[in-house]
Structure 1
Amino acid sequence: MGEGFSEVIHVPTRLRICSILAEVGEAEFGVLRDALDLSDSVLSKHVKVLEQAGFVTVRKGSVNGRTRTWVALNKIGQKAFKAHIEELRKLAAAGDLLEP
């Protein structure tokens, strides 16, 4: 694989998370969970992996007295996601060259 390929991002659920965050910038945890049709625990696990890789920023705050969590694709994550998508495009284009 090329240098832009990310094993962390390539996992389908994390690829979907990054795709959504690349579009919206930041999403509330519950909104992201519902959009992806995931359980809290599954989303939390994948967000943690992305956070440990340095790709997302997680912040907590209070809305109407209730604690909320927001997840954002940070600059490092944006760069990694774009590079990963570009690498996938290259792979797809190479596959097209093999077609008769």
Structure 2
Amino acid sequence: MDGKSGAMMQNPRYRTVITELLTDSPVVREQVVKDVREFLAVGEYALACETLCGWIHEDDLAISSAFHERLRQPADGGAYSRPSSEVSPGKGRNPT
């Protein structure tokens, strides 16, 4: 595990960031959503992020460049919340 992943696993602000990414993501497979939420619940933020990114890639889901940049932030060691100007009503999924 690299230093960035280790820092992510220890920083609970990633939970909020990854939850927002999951909510706004094009991922619709319920098992994937469940897995990401379970990783978040137990503090496995790196696994949650890796799972989300992996399924976006695996299912070849289209994402905007702005969403891609948001995905990069946790992986690069920086967590931030989405800007309110980036969220459009009716986009993304509602959390369950």
TM-score under structure 2 normalisation?
Answer: 0.28
Higher RCO, 1 vs 2 (CA within 8 Å, ≥6 residues apart): 2
Which structure has the larger Rg?
1
